[in-house]
Amino acid sequence: MSLVKAKLANLLLRRRVKSRDLHPNARANLEALEGLDLAAPLSACRFVVLDTETTGMDPETDRVVSVGAVRVVQGRVRLGEAFSELVNPGRDIPAMAVKVHGITPDKIASARHGAEVFEDFLSFLGRDILVAHYAKFDLHFINRVMRGRYGFSLQNLVLDTVLMCQAVVLASDPYGISRHQKACRLEALAQRFGIAAPERHTALGDALITAMVFQRMLARLEAVGGTRLKDLMRVAQLK
Amino acid sequence: MEEFHWHRILEFVRAVAPFDALPQQDLERAVSAMEVAYFPRDTVIIEQGGPSSRFLYFLQSGSARVGLPGAGEGGGELLVDERGEGDTFGGLSLLQGGKAMFRVTAREDLICYLLPGEVFKALCAAHPSLERHYGASLARNLQAVREHVSCELPALAGLEGMSLSAAMMRSRVRELMSPKPVTCLPAMPVKAAARIMTQRQVGSIVVAQAGGHPLGILTDTDFRVRVMLRARSLDEPVAEFMSAPPHSISPDAYAFEALLAMSHHGVHHLVVVEDDRVVGVISDRDLQAITGGSPVGVVRAIDKVASVGELVRLHPSIDRVVELLLRMGGSAREMLALVTEFNDRVTTKLIALTEEDMEHSGAGRPPVPYGWMALGSEGRREQTLRTDQDNALIFANVPEASQERVKAWFLGFSERVVAGLERCGFPRCTGGVMASNPDWCQSEAGWQKTFLRWVSDPKPVTLRLGSIFFDFREIYAEADYLDTLRLRLKQAMEENRLFLRYMAANALYNRPPLGFLRQFVVEKGGEHANKLNLKLSGLTPIVDGARVMALELGIDTTNTLERLAAIEAQGLLKKELAADLVEAFSFITLLRISRHLEARAEGRTPDNFVDPESLNNFQRKMLKEAFKVVSELQSLLEQRYQTRLIT
């Protein structure tokens, strides 16, 4: 969806919900696309890079157990602007999932529930462009809460680093040797770029790595002349 | 404060000196303010002459080069320093403000943690050790620039805790220069110029047009090397001999810029020019003056002392000045020459004073002319701080009948000099290689015979003595005994080539400590467990190798760097290997000197051991490279001298 279309849909949505009594966070989110300019240089764009840990891979039955996000401004990751919180999924955590992220049921016993954490995340996100690896997956969980609470889905622009990777990194692979699903995995990308994980593999740690991978790909994009938001959207916007 | 999330990044920052000294709370605050940035290879991160840095950059991965554009060979960039993982850059530029002094470029793809300037400055205000550390990094950079313009080896031997930088950074040329420069017109005869310089007690005279436009400069050195050698008559005009055009600097430039300019152009004087008019002259001595130590003063003091006791009392201040000068940095060659210079002066003075003492005590004047020989590292002019004595005495041939009486006089004399040196801080040689030993106090003929005997009979003891004695150099000599001795040694060497093979085998005894896995091999046990011996495993093989080749080729100099240059000139060493050896020798020497200074600063006795763990990545890399070069030299020796033939 191009920005024009997104703005149009947003306009229609705002008309539709105008008379409704909305949560301030929801009202604010309606304005998420404001001020976005396709011709804006990438260095002027603000991003929030998100990573979530879940109870599993099934979008229908599984829930989020941990949210981590960092903000990227002027192409730099701000460590001081990080979001990190465990989420009580309101269900059991399968042993398989515990093995992946190490979040055991006792750890989340005192954690808040998804909806409350979500509200805080939404105000952390503000109008920034949301970036995630396999963004569809994270967006699904966000939108489930969004729709449930506000009746509409997230209005922010959402970029997917996997799409970006396919367009920016793998495109330069003339023999297609690395054109394989695995080459797009976060670990594979980090390794490809020689990024050593600066932190542990928590949602926040992975959000930081995603941000650093994103940073690399932004530099690559800019190196081939893609210096404006529209260039980035062309390669990374979630369809 | 919010919950802190970045524990591993904090540990990374904590491992970076001098942040290791910061309390947890401050580190958390610093990390929370940081940003992660990526710079593709070849990105210029800080531009020389551009605005000062806004961040302190911590290198998380990759490496960066600190350079001086336009100062390198052919107008390229002069490499000042290289920073690797766990290093920082930008700190100095931040603290100093104004224009950035150096250009910082990403050598490889770089990931950095950026600490914003305000936060860094607040930390510096709370922790003076931080500011000191970054002040010292300027000194290190300057030192690297001083090294030599064409020399790619940055001086990395971290000289911590120096006081030079602050003064160098704040003082301007205008405050330090001689404001009333002595000038003359180009047509002035050199004789007249010399008279003016003597009258005004200056080391240089600026040659300028009547309007003040500078044309050139004539210094003491120019008098020595140009006027004395070339002038047919002292009535020739100064314009014939001056250095033109003169290297100039603005009065508003900083002291360190003057230092940079001097080291870049290899000069000691700069003409200070404002609006195309000469307004002053600044010399390296003016710069030294602001660093607190006056080497000139100490040299004068040495020359003036009237008794051994006075000289002994002077030795702490000599030590201090030498240390200060070493801390100011410079190339290995300069530093070694500097220590030698002071030690030579002390020794010469002691010899003169002892002669007087002998006379006053009724023993009389020296019965025949003689010479005082420096051996070993002193002979090679490669001493660092205080080292053991290695000396010998040679006296004129005398008739058999008076031999005993003459030798007795010189032995008594030598014992006094040796004792004096000991009191001045040069410990006696534990191996007894001193002029007070009857074996090492001989007549000219005696020495010639001794050397010939050694060379014709290679065995462990003669080889060991040869490695000390064949590096002889005169410190004081009334006649050309040593030239004759050198000539005889050369002849003896030609007739006894086998000695060289044995000596080469000896030079292979100390192997550089690069193990099979390219790991450092360190001392296995004892006091120096897990440490490297810089001298034995790095310097000694180079020194020994250079000696063998120099003896083979009949090269007179004993200095290792000069020997290497001469060997290269004669084609025995390839240009690249010679350059690598010079670099390896210089690097290890600088590292050794800086370790010695550190030890002194901490009140420890300096030794030659270094813990590889205490080196930064780049130093480690350099050291490994240096050891590889030493290995290469040893393979060459093995082949050339067929050392396998002796077992």
Does the distance separating the beta carbons of A79 and B9 come in below 8 Å? Answer: yes
Domain B506-645, what fold?
Four Helix Bundle (Hemerythrin (Met), subunit A) (1.20.120)
CA atoms within 13 A on the CB side of B201: 0
Check if B7 contacts A (Cβ < 8 Å): yes
Query: At how many degrees (to 10) do helices B540-553 and B560-569 cross?
Result: 50
Q: Point out the residues of A that are catalytic.
A: 201
Q: Say if residues A201 and A66 touch (Cβ distance below 8 Å).
A: no
Does the distance separating the beta carbons of A82 and B37 come in below 8 Å? Answer: no
Mutate which of B2, B11, B58, B111 to test chain A, going by most A C-beta atoms within 10 A?
Answer: B111
Phi-psi region of B364 (alpha: psi -120 to 50; beta: other; left: phi over 0): left
d(CA B117, CA B122): 9
Q: Which residues of chain A have pLDDT under 70?
A: 1, 171-182
Of B106, B111, B105, the closest CA to residue B50 belongs to B105
Within B72-169, strands assigned E span: 78-83, 88-89, 103-106, 110-116
Does the distance separating the beta carbons of A219 and B36 come in below 8 Å? Answer: no
CB neighbourhood size of B321 (10 A): 22
Residue of B nearest to A196 (CA): B61
Give the A-side interface with B, CB within 8 Å.
75-80, 82, 84, 193-196, 198-200, 204, 208, 211-212, 215-216, 219, 223
**May I ask the CATH architecture of the domain B7-154?**
Sandwich (2.60)
Question: What pLDDT band is residue B620 in, cutting at 50, 70 and 90?
Answer: confident
Question: What pLDDT band is residue B72 in, cutting at 50, 70 and 90?
Answer: low
* Helices of type H across B426-559: 444-456, 460-469, 481-495, 497-507, 534, 540-553
List the CATH code of the domain at B295-495. Answer: 3.30.460.10
Does the distance separating the beta carbons of A200 and B8 come in below 8 Å? Answer: yes
Q: Which residue has the higher pLDDT, B590 or A69?
A: A69
pLDDT for res B113:
96
Does the distance separating the beta carbons of A196 and B38 come in below 8 Å? Answer: no
Picking from B6, B61, B109, the nearest residue to A79 by CB comes out as B6
Picking from A79, A195, A215, the nearest residue to B34 by CB comes out as A79
Check if B43 contacts A (Cβ < 8 Å): no
Check if B12 contacts A (Cβ < 8 Å): yes
Check if B41 contacts A (Cβ < 8 Å): no
pLDDT for res B527:
64
Does the distance separating the beta carbons of A208 and B35 come in below 8 Å? Answer: no
d(CA A97, CA A56): 6
Residue of B nearest to A216 (CA): B38
Size of interface A-B (CB pairs under 8 A): 58
Q: In percent, how much of chain A has pLDDT > 70? A: 95
Residue of B nearest to A205 (CA): B6
Chain A closest-CA separation from residue B42 CA (Å): 13
Does the distance separating the beta carbons of B8 and A195 come in below 8 Å? Answer: no
Does the distance separating the beta carbons of A80 and B32 come in below 8 Å? Answer: yes
Does the distance separating the beta carbons of B32 and A198 come in below 8 Å? Answer: no
pLDDT for res B134:
72
Which chain A residues contact residue B3 at CB under 8 A?
84
Q: Where are the domains of chain B?
A: 7-154, 173-290, 295-495, 506-645
CB neighbourhood size of B7 (10 A): 12
Q: Do the domains spanning B7-154 and B295-495 agree at the CATH topology level? A: no
Picking from A76, A84, A198, the nearest residue to B60 by CB comes out as A198
pLDDT for res B170:
56
B434: Cα separation from own chain's centroid: 26
Chain A closest-CA separation from residue B86 CA (Å): 13
Q: State pLDDT tens for residues B85-95.
A: 888 888 877 87
Q: What number is the ipTM of this complex?
A: 0.92
Of A157, A113, A114, the closest CA to residue A132 belongs to A157
> Phi and psi dihedrals of B297, rounded to 5?
-60, -45
Which chain B residues contact residue A199 at CB under 8 A?
5-9
Q: State pLDDT tens for residues B307-359.
A: 888 888 877 777 767 776 666 556 677 778 778 888 888 899 999 999 999 99
Does the distance separating the beta carbons of B7 and A193 come in below 8 Å? Answer: no
Residue in the block written with tokens 């000396």: B391
List the CATH code of the domain at B173-290. Answer: 3.10.580.10
B352-355, long-range: CB < 8 A, 24+ apart: B353/B305, B353/B306, B353/B307, B353/B308, B353/B311, B353/B420, B354/B308, B354/B413, B354/B416, B354/B417, B354/B420, B355/B413
Picking from B7, B61, B113, the nearest residue to A194 by CB comes out as B61
pLDDT for res A174:
55
pLDDT at B26 over 90: yes
* Domain annotation for chain A: domains and CATH numbers: 3-236 (3.30.420.10)
Q: Say if residues A221 and A168 touch (Cβ distance below 8 Å).
A: yes
pLDDT for res B627:
87
Dihedral angle, C-alpha B573, B462, B433, B545, nearest 10 ° = 10
Q: State pLDDT tens for residues B442-462.
A: 999 999 999 999 999 988 899
Q: State pLDDT tens for residues A27-82.
A: 899 999 988 899 999 999 999 999 999 998 888 888 999 999 999 999 999 999 99
pLDDT for res A68:
96
